[in-house]
Structure 1
Amino acid sequence: MMQTRVAQLEEGKDPAVTRGTNQSRALRVRLLQLFGLFVLLCIALSVIISLYTVKRFGINGVVTTTATSNFFSCYEEPTSLARLIRPPTNLLHTMNDKELLWRASFVPRINKYPFRRVPKIAFMFLTKGPLPLAPLWEKFLKGHEGLYSIYIHSLPSFNAKFPSSSSFYRRQIPSQVSEWGKMSMCDAERRLLANALLDVSNEWFVLLSESCIPLYKFSVIYHYVLKSKDSFVGAYDDPGPYGRGRYNQNMAPVVNISQWRKGSQWFEINRKLAIDIVEDSTYYRKFEAFCKPACYVDEHYFPTMLTIQAANLIANRSITWVDWSRGGSHPATFGRADITVEFFKKILQGHKCIYNNQSISICFLFARKFSPSTLEPLLRIAPKVLGF
């Protein structure tokens, strides 16, 4: 028996040690089983919660945040050229105005683009709410995708209901309340410009209201604007009470009375002047402080600032037609009964203006103010009179 014990010790097979080893192994197996069961329970609980969330809130509430970020990092490097030049797909960003204007003021120092850039026109709609004439614009834009962008600044509380097939679908930008004649109106226009500048392909920027319509087919307007050497901003020296009479001496010496200009707020400008507007702080501060009703800042700020900074780049006229013949502080509004062939002859014919240093008869590309009741007759007359 002693020999057996000695033999076991010599071979290193102490029964006590063996039993301890077996117990330890069994404990580890048991712990692994418990851990596996815990993991399965967590997965099952996660699936149950996900199914409930999808049923309660919709699938976007479950997958949007994590899926988007993971997909982006796997799709391409965030610093690649394609990522930098791709226009934002979601206009509802979280930047405040100060951050937005700073971001929009970025300018490449090399003028030649290292990729094929197709210039686009940014149509920027400044409105309180609905766009009743949107079907006419849809007809105008049809077939010209890739040559234009749409931006809508409305009351923050307004939620547009355009179908996914519409050119206006999800084209609202983060907005704030704007009031006619006050600096908040210029803020809205700068906000539109800044958002549009985030798309590097936007070369021209057209400010429109919900009552504006195009007067020609898309190809005519596109080539007229893209080939112009000037931007279209009304800027004239009005010596009367509604011009120089609104000037405040406190604006000097930044703005002298000889530089004071007046014009329509409805402009059509190129990318250079759009950047000049969004990056301005010098003139902005003066107009914010010293141009208050009855000085209507939206009629003076941009015309004066651009006359001082870039007088050689503006045509001193707008290409948006309005009718002031009825008098008053607002132009005439047109209704259903006004929409006739003779009415459009009045708008389109009998004009002379300067375009690229030459006299031409096409002077207006857009017109306002058209009430919602004009939509049906406009759609009916457009193929014959407007060309689309």
Structure 2
Amino acid sequence: MKATLDDVKVVLTRKESFTCLSKVVVFLVIFALGVVAGLWAATGPRQYYSSYTSILLPSTTTVYRGGGGGGGRSVGCRPGVEVGFAEFVAPTRLMHDMSDEQLFWRATMAPASGAFPFERVPKVAFMFLAGRGVLPLAPLWERFFRGHEGLFSVYVHAPPGMVINVSNDSPFYRRQIPSQETSWGSVTLMDAEKRLLANALLDFSNERFVLLSESCIPVQSFPTVYGYLTGSRHSFVEIYYNQNKQCRGRYSRRMAPDITLPQWRKGSQWFELSRDLAVRVLTDTKYYPLFRHHCLPSCYPDEHYLPTLLNMLHSERNSNRTVTYVDWSRGGAHPATYGAADVTPDLIQRIRTSQNPCTYNSRPTSTCFLFARKFSPDALEPLLNISSTVILY
């Protein structure tokens, strides 16, 4: 290019007469060379500059990608979506392609610094195990949550491929987590519960974690539930031992010596955990495999794993009771189901105020239950009719 410009310069400096046509040709050549030089300056250097600044000055947002078995795919959000700091500490997009192993590893990470570089308001994670893929009592829960945004998070484990049908302003909207098939009485139910815990732990503001079913209702107002859980020094996992086939008879001697019969416990599936205990559950690689291999029907991992684990390792952190009321007075393999005809102010008041006092932060209290089950879909309308006057939401 330089040689061509020099040749033109020589031609122009010659003291020879040019015809009009010659002058036009020379002018066009110079103009064309100028255009080419301008384009090169505008594109070539910028491309090199851009490639270097992307290395030296990376974006303030990061796309998190999986390694190892992840195949380099984006994890934690949809592929190609950049994740900023706010999304990292409190994910709003719950769908991801992490395996359980990757998810549990990610969820149990904890910052070394005790201080948070953001304003952290403790939240309660409400985790719904919706085995049928529906939430018939969602309108009642929506009324319960209304006006308390920022103090709670919602997570739903439904069968794969099923979408919870709610409006886009519902607290349940787009709150489904990646799920797998479950079957009653198998270890897959406990897998689902751990999956809910792990996804909820991704939000650094979640401090308490309560497991619920699609047939559960809140029997206290949101402020009461929130204050009760965030103010508690203990978790709420029911733990007991009976000399009968429903407890002692489910123990497998193949679990010894890691789990012995005197250490074996039973309890309600419906638990509530503090953040530190939720992390400890997910990091347990010693005892959970024993339940996977040896707790088979008629042994049910969801009724034995957490009670046994917490009794062995963290009994001082637990209240040994559940905050979810279940009526077993009618006998049988399943608890009583409340239909529309059963819903009365008296029923709710009896559940809200326990006749058998329990302890809260080591002091006696009559407020023992925050939730109750099992309520059928046709109970929704009478529950809505009394919610504002009786349940106070």
TM-score calculated relative to the size of structure 2: 0.80
* Counterpart in the other structure of 1:108: 111
Secondary structure at the aligned position of 1:359 is classed as strand
Deviation at 1:327, TM superposition (A): 1.0
Is 1:202 matched with 2:206? Answer: yes
Quickly say closer, same or farther: Cα 1:23–1:167, change in 2 above 3 A: same
- Cα distance in 2 for residues equivalent to 1:199 and 1:207: 16
Is 1:120 matched with 2:118? Answer: no
Deviation at 1:26, TM superposition (A): 6.1
Deviations 1:241-276 (A, max 9, x none): 111111111111111111111001100110011101
Q: How many residues align?
A: 341
Is 1:11 matched with 2:2? Answer: no
Q: Does the CA contact (< 8 Å) of 1:120 and 1:204 recur in 2?
A: yes
- Paired-residue identity, %: 48
- Cα distance in 1 for residues equivalent to 2:228 and 2:380: 25
Q: How does 1:288-327 map to 2 (within 5 A)?
A: 288-327=292-331
Quickly say closer, same or farther: Cα 1:386–1:26, change in 2 above 3 A: same
* Counterpart in the other structure of 2:236: 232
Secondary structure at the aligned position of 1:318 is classed as coil
Secondary structure at the aligned position of 1:98 is classed as helix
Alignment partner for residue 369 of structure 1, among 370, 374, 390? 374
- Cα distance in 1 for residues equivalent to 2:16 and 2:390: 105
Is 1:274 matched with 2:248? Answer: no
Secondary structure at the aligned position of 2:314 is classed as helix
Q: Does the CA contact (< 8 Å) of 2:89 and 2:202 recur in 1?
A: no
Deviates more, 1:131-140 or 1:161-170: 161-170
Is 1:352 matched with 2:377? Answer: no
- Cα distance in 1 for residues equivalent to 2:236 and 2:261: 23
- Cα distance in 2 for residues equivalent to 1:107 and 1:84: 16
- Cα distance in 2 for residues equivalent to 1:150 and 1:11: 84
Quickly say closer, same or farther: Cα 1:88–1:12, change in 2 above 3 A: farther
Q: Does the CA contact (< 8 Å) of 2:220 and 2:391 recur in 1?
A: yes
Q: Does the CA contact (< 8 Å) of 1:264 and 1:299 recur in 2?
A: yes
Q: How does 1:30-41 map to 2 (within 5 A)?
A: none
Deviation at 1:205, TM superposition (A): 0.3
* Counterpart in the other structure of 1:86: 89
- Cα distance in 1 for residues equivalent to 2:89 and 2:106: 15
* Counterpart in the other structure of 2:249: 245
- Cα distance in 2 for residues equivalent to 1:372 and 1:194: 29
Deviations 1:204-256 (A, max 9, x none): 00100000000111001111111111000011122211111111111111111
Deviation at 1:84, TM superposition (A): 7.0
Matched letter for residue 376 of structure 1: E
Matched letter for residue 306 of structure 2: F
Secondary structure at the aligned position of 2:209 is classed as strand
Deviation at 1:384, TM superposition (A): 1.7
Deviations 1:43-81 (A, max 9, x none): xxxxxxxxxxxxxxxxxxxxxxxxxxxxxx86x444999
Matched letter for residue 380 of structure 1: N
Q: Does the CA contact (< 8 Å) of 2:220 and 2:352 recur in 1?
A: no
Q: Does the CA contact (< 8 Å) of 1:122 and 1:149 recur in 2?
A: yes
* Counterpart in the other structure of 1:218: 222
Deviations 1:274-293 (A, max 9, x none): 10111211111100010010
Deviation at 1:154, TM superposition (A): 0.2
Q: Does the CA contact (< 8 Å) of 1:211 and 1:370 recur in 2?
A: yes
- Cα distance in 1 for residues equivalent to 2:180 and 2:153: 21
Matched letter for residue 245 of structure 2: P
- Cα distance in 2 for residues equivalent to 1:27 and 1:190: 73
* Counterpart in the other structure of 1:331: 335
* Counterpart in the other structure of 1:61: none
Deviations 1:98-143 (A, max 9, x none): 1101100102233343432100000000002111101100111111
Matched letter for residue 362 of structure 1: T
Matched letter for residue 279 of structure 2: I
Deviation at 1:351, TM superposition (A): 3.0
Q: Does the CA contact (< 8 Å) of 1:119 and 1:147 recur in 2?
A: yes
Quickly say closer, same or farther: Cα 1:149–1:84, change in 2 above 3 A: closer
Q: Does the CA contact (< 8 Å) of 2:209 and 2:275 recur in 1?
A: yes
- Cα distance in 1 for residues equivalent to 2:26 and 2:84: 62
* Counterpart in the other structure of 2:182: 178
Q: Does the CA contact (< 8 Å) of 2:122 and 2:206 recur in 1?
A: yes
Q: How does 1:54-73 map to 2 (within 5 A)?
A: none
In the alignment, structure 1 segments of 5+ residues that lack a partner are 1-7, 37-72
Deviation at 1:86, TM superposition (A): 3.2
Q: Does the CA contact (< 8 Å) of 2:218 and 2:371 recur in 1?
A: yes
Matched letter for residue 286 of structure 1: L
Is 1:133 matched with 2:159? Answer: no
- Cα distance in 1 for residues equivalent to 2:368 and 2:356: 7
Quickly say closer, same or farther: Cα 1:14–1:237, change in 2 above 3 A: farther
Q: Does the CA contact (< 8 Å) of 1:351 and 1:362 recur in 2?
A: no
Quickly say closer, same or farther: Cα 1:115–1:10, change in 2 above 3 A: closer
* Counterpart in the other structure of 2:164: 160
Structure in which a larger fraction of residues adopt helix: 1
Secondary structure at the aligned position of 1:122 is classed as strand
Is 1:383 matched with 2:392? Answer: no
- Cα distance in 2 for residues equivalent to 1:27 and 1:120: 70
Deviates more, 1:204-213 or 1:113-122: 113-122
Quickly say closer, same or farther: Cα 1:24–1:323, change in 2 above 3 A: same
